[in-house]
Each structure stands twice: as C-alpha cells, then as structure tokens.
C-alpha cells in the first residue's frame, strides 16, 4: 500500500527571540527546504558558510591535485632513490587520499556541494597539474615539485583558516590546523632530501 502524500506544508522556521539571537550572535534566517527538511542553523551566517566553503573548495582542489601528483610520482620514480621514494610517496598519497574525504564532508556540513571533477579541480587549484611523464623525470625534480605542491597547500590552508576563524568556524579551523601540520612536515622532509 503506497503512503498517502500529506497535503500539509512544512512548518516555517520560527524567528528567534532577541535573547536567542544574542546568545548565538547570528541571525538564524533559516528557511525550511521544499521537501520539509530543516534549513541549516549551525551558528554561522549563510554568507560565512559560503565564504568558508568556497575556501575549502580551493583547498580540496589543491589537495586533490597534490594527491594525484604524488601518486603519479610513486608510480614513475626511478633511480638510486627508487625504493625510499616509492615507499615515501605511497605513505604520503595514502594519507592525502583519506584527508580528501574529510575536507569534502566539511564542505557538505556547511551546506554546499564539494567540487568533484577534474575540470573543477583544475579551475580551482593553485597547483599546476603534472601533464604526464613521456620520459622518466629525475627523482630530484619530482621531490622539488612535491615540496612546492605541499607549500602551496599550506598557503591555501592558511587563507581558509583565517576565513573560518573570522566566522567562528572551529571545526574548519581545527581541520586546517591539522592539514597545515601534515603538509608543513611533509614539505620539510622532502626538502631535506635535496639539501
């Protein structure tokens, strides 16, 4: 037996009292979705959520591009440093892969869609994509590019962290702090191979 569709409309979000607005320090301006799901009211204005989400989209694009480049170099590294770098790159791209999901899910928690196509990542990333290796690239050039890529991710993370901090978005601040710690350490370790 099919469920009977209700003719009742979803309840409108009620206005917060003056005390509630002060307590949250954010105007709740929440509207229910057409399907009856409640709107987003996590204590951030929609504008702050949008700015933070946009920054996270750039960060996700940088992180994905760095992941892909690291995985590429894992597959294609050769030379006397093969074993050490093949293993190091695998550790790095595996960690990066798991982080991508956390970043995308944070964007979704803020109420926006995460970028998820090569076209979007290419448009939003500050890291140049590796076009492919026709010939084997020197391992030193691979390491140099990964230092530059990790540092680019750090710069983007700092921008997002500031935006999130200004908006009082502690979960995003925490996420960006964790990512900064990892990418700064990775850049240092890679740079040390070239010194």
What does the alpha-carbon distance between residue 9 and residue 53 come to, in Å, rounded to a whole number? 30
Mean pLDDT of 101-109: 96
Whether residue 192 is predicted with pLDDT greater than 90 in this model: the reply is: yes
Say yes or no to pLDDT of 6 above 60: no
Contact between residue 77 and residue 142 where contact means Cβ atoms under 8 Å apart: yes
Would residue 163 count as lying in a domain? yes
- pLDDT value at residue 132: 65
If asked whether residues 36 and 106 sit together in one domain, one would say no
Same domain flag for 58 and 38: no
169 shares a domain with 80: yes
Closest CA to 189 of 85, 59, 49, 81: 85
B/e letters for 15-32, b = 16+ CB within 10 Å, e = fewer, are ebeeeeeeeeebebebee
Q: pLDDT tens, 22-54?
A: 344 544 455 555 666 777 777 888 899 999 999
Residue 184, pLDDT score: 98
| Whether 111 and 184 share a structural domain | yes
- The candidate with the shortest Cα–Cα distance to 101, out of 175, 182, 187, is 175
Q: Report the C-alpha gap between 145 and 24 in whole angstroms.
A: 45
User: Within a domain: residue 145?
Assistant: yes
Q: Cβ distance 44 to 24 under 8 Å?
A: no
Which regions of 28-137 does DSSP assign to beta strands (E)? none
Q: Is residue 96 part of a domain?
A: yes
pLDDT tens by residue, 126-184 = 998 767 666 667 899 999 999 999 999 999 999 999 999 999 999 999 999 999 999 99
Domain of 154 in residue numbering reads as 46-194
In angstroms, rounded to a whole number, what is the distance separating the alpha carbons of residues 85 and 143?
9
Q: Kindly report the CA angle at 17 between 11 and 20, in degrees rounded to 5?
A: 105
What was the pLDDT predicted at 149?
A: 97
150 and 182: one domain? yes
Q: Does residue 14 carry a pLDDT above 80?
A: no
76 lies in the same domain as 169: yes
Average pLDDT of the residues in 103-116: 95
**Contact yes or no for 58/126 (Cβ under 8 A):** yes
- Any domain includes 7: no
Q: Are residues 30 and 57 in the same domain?
A: no
Task: Say if residue 124's pLDDT is above 90.
Answer: yes
My answer on whether 158 and 84 are in the same domain is yes
C-alpha span between 193 and 80 (Å, rounded): 13
For residues 39 and 58, which has the higher predicted lDDT (pLDDT)? 58
Residues 91, 159 within the same domain: yes
Total domain count, the chain: 2
CATH number, domain with residue 180: 1.20.1260.10
pLDDT attached to residue 82: 95
């Amino acid at each position: 037996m099919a469920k009977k569709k209700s003719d009742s409309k979803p309840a409108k979000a009620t206005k917060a009292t003056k005390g509630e607005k002060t307590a949250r320090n954010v105007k709740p301006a929440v509207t229910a979705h057409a399907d009856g799901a409640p709107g987003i009211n996590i204590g951030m204005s929609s504008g702050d959520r949008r700015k933070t989400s946009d920054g996270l989209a750039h960060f996700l694009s940088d992180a994905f591009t760095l992941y892909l480049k690291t995985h590429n170099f894992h597959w294609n590294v050769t030379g006397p440093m093969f074993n050490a770098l093949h293993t190091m790159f695998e550790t790095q791209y595996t960690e990066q892969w798991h982080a991508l999901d956390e970043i995308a899910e944070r964007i979704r928690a803020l109420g926006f869609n995460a970028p998820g196509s090569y076209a979007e990542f290419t448009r939003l990333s500050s890291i140049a994509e590796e076009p492919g290796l026709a010939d084997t690239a020197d391992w030193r050039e691979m390491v140099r590019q990964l230092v530059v890529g990790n540092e680019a991710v750090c710069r983007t993370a700092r921008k997002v962290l500031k935006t999130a901090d200004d908006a009082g978005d502690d979960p995003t601040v925490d996420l960006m702090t964790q990512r900064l710690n990892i990418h700064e350490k990775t850049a240092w370790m890679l740079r040390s191979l070239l010194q």
